[in-house]
């Protein structure tokens, strides 16, 4: 087993990883930026090294400084968490070249899956259903017109190197196509340095259903079931559930089989997520594979009892999977708490109790700076049934106290009272449909309990 691992991340996920490593008796070296000096991961790691100023390019994305620190401290592996360098194939390759284990899949797999059009092609070759669309990247606007005529409007133009919803444009008719094609291209160029785009049929108000997979270096792959992550604001997830309520047992089985097929096709050997969009008739289509641990991984851990971060580290260290399947039991919901302003936390109460898990790096006196991701806590609940989980989530959000900064806590609390959420059957149009009503209720202050 590993003796010392470098953690190249910050916030709640750095803490989550440090905690797992500690429980495995592995020492940790954390790299951090100047504004993160007074943070829980810094205090909790065995060693903490400041590698640069606030700008991510000079700190959390500073590949050379991170690798040099790993070598200097004798770390055998680097855990990249999510975001930052976690899906950077070049960095994974550099780790390999320096005899450091990158805790994630091989750089070839990251590169292949990071190019969404290439991933799509691979899935087609392996009989994984993909959204009808272009066979390759679109070379010209004429090609875009031709493809759209073939698959039929509405269509979606997507960046091959896309992520975080950037470089994506919906097109409802021929007259909108040229402008959408050009803006998607320039947005993709600015965000990813790669302006290649492709086309998919726009599925109207689909559910975002994703499958958690876990694979080792010996060809063993298991699927840990599905998550419904359809509550999104600007393509950013706000709340996730496992299992996905209202998907038939037969489709769940098919989804698990498809996820295993996709992971095997990719030659996968770590934790990963296979993402699909699903229509009302439970037709589902591959959209992309994320080659890292995801923000929403805890809901799967809660319903399967499998510690994903621990297993991610174990398989990276060369261990074989000890299980050949995962059983899903009960229901789990994660709610993301985002800071809407920066400032110092003046008062904090983290709820606890049966079926409650809160992943956060906050403490009273901690300063939330504007430089990084605004997510400051994940509230995760577990219940025997979905209803129990929903009621527990409400109770936890009522108990949670975060003072000193504005957060989306009240918004999320009221969200749990919306009809579609209670029903459990909702799609990616949820946010847009409910946002106004929730904000209205916040304004008049007459909600909930
Ligand atoms: P990114 O990597 O930028 O997040 P994804 O391909 O994962 O992009 O898609 C993000 C979200 O966009 C999905 O969760 C889904 O809500 C929506 N989406 C993606 N592809 C389609 C599609 N073909 N039809 C309808 N919605 C889609």
In this prediction, residue 166 carries a pLDDT of: 87
How far apart CA 209 and CA 276 sit, in angstroms, is 5
CATH of the domain at 45: 3.40.50.20
Q: How far is the CA of 287 from the centre of ligand 1 (A)?
A: 7
Q: How far is the CA of 228 from the centre of ligand 1 (A)?
A: 13
Q: Give domain status of residue 122, yes or no.
A: no
The 10s digit of each residue's pLDDT in 36-68 is 999 999 999 999 999 999 999 999 999 999 999
- Of the three residues 201, 218, 247, the one that is the final residue of a domain is 201
What 3-state class would DSSP assign to 443? helix
225 and 179 in a single domain? The answer is no
- Size (the chain), residues: 449
308 and 328 in a single domain? The answer is yes
30 and 155 in a single domain? The answer is no
Q: Give domain status of residue 118, yes or no.
A: no
Q: Which domain holds residue 53?
A: 4-103
239 and 193 in a single domain? The answer is no
395 and 277 in a single domain? The answer is yes
CATH of the domain at 213: 3.30.470.20
Probe target for ligand 1 pocket from 202, 206, 238, 432, with the most ligand atoms within 8 Å of CB: 206
Tell me the C-alpha to C-alpha distance, in Å, between residue 210 and each of 227, 277, 290.
5, 8, 10
Q: How far is the CA of 165 from the centre of ligand 1 (A)?
A: 7
Residue ID of nearest Cα to ligand 1 atom 18: 277
215 and 364 in a single domain? The answer is yes
How far apart CA 426 and CA 245 sit, in angstroms, is 9
245 and 372 in a single domain? The answer is yes
Q: Give domain status of residue 126, yes or no.
A: no
CATH of the domain at 145: 3.30.1490.20
Q: Give domain status of residue 395, yes or no.
A: yes
227 carries an active-site annotation? no
Give the number of the atom of ligand 1 that is nearest the alpha carbon of residue 202. 24
229, containing H or E segment: strand 221-233
Residue ID of nearest Cα to ligand 1 atom 11: 235
Could you tell me if 400 and 379 are in contact, meaning their C-beta atoms sit under 8 angstroms apart? yes
290 and 430 in a single domain? The answer is yes
In this prediction, residue 220 carries a pLDDT of: 98
User: How many other β-carbons are positioned within 10 Å of the β-carbon of residue 348?
Assistant: 17
Exactly one of 169, 227, 292, 314 is catalytic; name it. Answer: 292
The 10s digit of each residue's pLDDT in 334-364 is 999 999 999 999 999 999 999 999 999 999 9
In this prediction, residue 294 carries a pLDDT of: 98
Q: Give domain status of residue 120, yes or no.
A: no
273 and 171 in a single domain? The answer is no
365 and 438 in a single domain? The answer is yes
Q: Domain count of the chain?
A: 3
Long-range residue pairs from 346-349, CB within 8 A, at least 24 positions apart, any chain: 346/403, 346/404, 347/401, 347/402, 347/403, 347/404, 348/401, 348/402, 348/403, 349/399, 349/400, 349/401
323 and 308 in a single domain? The answer is yes
In this prediction, residue 446 carries a pLDDT of: 57
Q: How far is the CA of 162 from the centre of ligand 1 (A)?
A: 10
Q: Give domain status of residue 179, yes or no.
A: yes
- Of the three residues 169, 201, 233, the one that is the final residue of a domain is 201
355 and 392 in a single domain? The answer is yes
In this prediction, residue 1 carries a pLDDT of: 85
Positions of the chain with pLDDT lower than 50, given as ranges: 448-449
Ligand 1 cavity residues, CB under 6 Å: 131, 156, 162-165, 200, 202-203, 206, 208, 232, 235, 275, 277, 287-288, 428
Q: Give domain status of residue 337, yes or no.
A: yes
How far apart CA 261 and CA 274 sit, in angstroms, is 10
Residue ID of nearest Cα to ligand 1 atom 6: 287
Q: Give domain status of residue 372, yes or no.
A: yes
């Amino acid at each position: 087993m590993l003796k010392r691992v470098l953690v190249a991340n910050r916030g709640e996920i750095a803490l989550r990883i440090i905690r797992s490593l500690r429980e495995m008796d592995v020492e940790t070296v954390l790299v951090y930026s100047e504004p993160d000096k007074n943070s829980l991961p810094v205090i909790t790691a065995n060693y903490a090294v400041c590698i640069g100023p606030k700008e991510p390019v000079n700190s959390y994305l500073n590949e050379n400084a991170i690798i040099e620190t790993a070598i200097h401290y004798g770390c055998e592996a680097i855990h990249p968490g999510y975001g930052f360098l976690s899906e950077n194939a070049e960095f994974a390759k550099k780790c390999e070249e320096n005899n450091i284990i990158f805790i994630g899949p091989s750089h070839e797999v990251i590169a292949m899956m990071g190019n969404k059009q290439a991933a799509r092609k691979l899935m087609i070759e392996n009989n994984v259903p993909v959204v009808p669309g272009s066979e390759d990247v679109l070379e010209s606007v004429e090609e875009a017109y031709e493809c759209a005529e073939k698959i039929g409007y509405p269509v979606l133009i997507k960046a091959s190197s896309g992520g975080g919803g950037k470089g994506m444009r919906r097109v409802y008719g021929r007259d909108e196509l040229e402008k959408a094609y050009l803006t998607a291209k320039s947005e993709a160029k600015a965000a990813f340095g790669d302006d290649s785009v492709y086309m998919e049929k726009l599925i109207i108000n689909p559910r975002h259903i994703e499958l958690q997979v876990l694979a080792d270096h010996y060809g063993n792959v298991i699927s840990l079931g599905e998550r419904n992550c359809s509550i999104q604001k600007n393509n950013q997830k706000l709340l996730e559930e496992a299992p996905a309520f209202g998907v038939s047992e037969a489709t769940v089985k098919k989804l698990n089989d498809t996820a295993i097929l996709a992971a095997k096709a990719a030659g996968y050997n770590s934790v990963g997520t296979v993402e699909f969009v699903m229509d009302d008739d439970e037709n589902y289509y591959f959209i992309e594979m994320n080659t890292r641990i995801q923000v929403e991984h805890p809901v799967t851990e809660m319903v399967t009892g499998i510690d994903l971060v621990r297993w991610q580290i174990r398989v990276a260290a060369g261990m074989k999977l000890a299980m050949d399947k995962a059983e899903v039991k009960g229901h789990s919901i994660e709610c993301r708490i985002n800071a809407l302003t920066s400032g110092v936390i003046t008062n904090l109460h983290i709820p606890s109790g049966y079926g409650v898990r809160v992943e956060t790096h906050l403490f009273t006196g901690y300063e939330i700076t504007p430089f990084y991701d605004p997510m400051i806590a994940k509230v995760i609940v577990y219940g025997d049934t979905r209803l129990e989980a929903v009621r527990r989530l409400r109770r936890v959000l009522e108990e949670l106290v975060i003072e000193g900064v504005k957060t989306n806590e009240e918004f999320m609390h009221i969200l749990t009272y919306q009809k579609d959420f209670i029903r459990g059957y909702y799609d990616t149009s949820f946010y847009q449909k409910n946002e106004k009503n929730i904000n209205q209720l916040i304004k008049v202050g007459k909600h909930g309990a």
